[in-house]
Amino acid sequence: MPGDVLVFDMDGVLVDVNESYRETIRQTVRHFTGSEVSHEHIQDLKNAGGWNNDWALSQKIVHDFGVDVGYDTVVAHFQSIFQGEGGLMKRERWVPGPGLLEGLSRRYRLAIFTGRLREEAKVTLDRFARGLAFDPVIGTDDVDNGKPAPDGLLRIAALTNGGKLWYVGDTVDDARSARAAGVPFIGIAAQANPRSAKLADLLRAEGAVEVLDNVNQLEGVV
């Protein structure tokens, strides 16, 4: 197995979540407040940093609309939209083109550090990438401190016998997590992102060695 490790975030990198996680935030806010929140406003909060947890972000937006709802209540409703019958998780779209990850896997060990629950990550991987080996897969429930803390990347480093890590992510919190772990960071600022130009500038300011429009450009960087 290759020694160096290419670590991926999932949302916005491997998976287009505009119609899944991002839409679930919008529907959760609408349920509790009767108000609409735009994709642009959600991205502005993500760009500010500190909102990697979409449950906490949903609660914050609900609170900003003047409604006091407990965290556990927000989580339960969010998950009912995301995972329930006809859940929005089914709207996810896999971004990597055919052969991209297979080619990279011949030169790198592939791993994942995501803000998702690990089992949710595995459901998506089983759906879209059953033939690929991501090892380890570290979810938010595997670490004491989520991003921007470096815990997940440090755990992957410990589990992969000291190979050099690269982290590919699409948020300020991903970049800060990589910097705190001493790991080179490659940013993704997808053109479909409503604040793509601003995001690209922010990721460069956070120390990204490269910022790409799409994970499919990764082959030319690593």
In order of their start, the domains of the chain are 5-16+92-220 (3.40.50.1000), 21-90 (no CATH)
* Cα–Cα distance, 217 to 221 (Å, whole number): 7
Quick one: average pLDDT of 64-90?
Answer: 95
Quick one: average pLDDT of 96-102?
Answer: 95
pLDDT of 121 over the 80 cut: yes
Nearest to 206 by CA among 181, 164, 167, 177: 177
* Cα–Cα distance, 222 to 87 (Å, whole number): 36
Percent of the chain past pLDDT 90, that is, above it, reads 92
pTM score: 0.94
Q: How confident is the model at residue 1 (pLDDT cuts 50, 70, 90)?
A: low
Q: How confident is the model at residue 2 (pLDDT cuts 50, 70, 90)?
A: low
- Angstrom CA distances, 166 to 6, 25, 94, 151, 183, stand at 5, 29, 21, 15, 6
* Cα–Cα distance, 18 to 161 (Å, whole number): 35
* pLDDT tens digits along 47-56: 999 999 999 9
Quick one: average pLDDT of 102-106?
Answer: 94
Percent of the chain past pLDDT 70, that is, above it, reads 99
What is the torsion angle, in degrees rounded to the nearest 10, for the CA atoms of residue 205, residue 180, residue 108 and residue 118?
-110
* pLDDT tens digits along 141-193: 999 999 999 999 999 999 998 789 999 999 999 999 999 999 999 999 998 88
Report yes or no: 138 and 152 within 8 Å, Cβ to Cβ.
yes
Report the pLDDT value the prediction gives residue 191, as an integer from 0 to 100. Answer: 87
Average pLDDT, the chain: 95
